[in-house]
Amino acid sequence: MIAVTSTPMTDLVANAPMDRRLAAIVVPTIEGMGFELVRLRLMGGRRITLQVMAERAAGRPGAGTMEIEDCAILSRAISAALDVEDPIEREFTLEVSSPGIDRPLTRLNDFARWEGYEARLETADMIDGRKRFKGVLAGVEGNEVLIDIDDPAVEGAIGLQFDWLTDAKLLLTDELVAESLRARKHDFNEAEFDEIEAKEDPTDEVTDGQNTNDNEGDINIPAMQKDT
Tens of pLDDT, residues 164-197 = 999 999 999 999 999 888 877 655 454 443 443 4
For 102-198, give the CATH class. mainly beta
Main-chain phi, psi angles of 63, to 5 degrees: -50, 135
Fold classified for 17-100: GMP Synthetase; Chain A, domain 3 (3.30.300)
Q: Where are the domains of the chain?
A: 17-100, 102-198
pLDDT tens by residue, 112-170:
999 999 999 999 999 988 999 999 999 999 999 999 998 888 888 999 999 999 999 99
Do 17-100 and 102-198 fold alike per CATH?
A: no
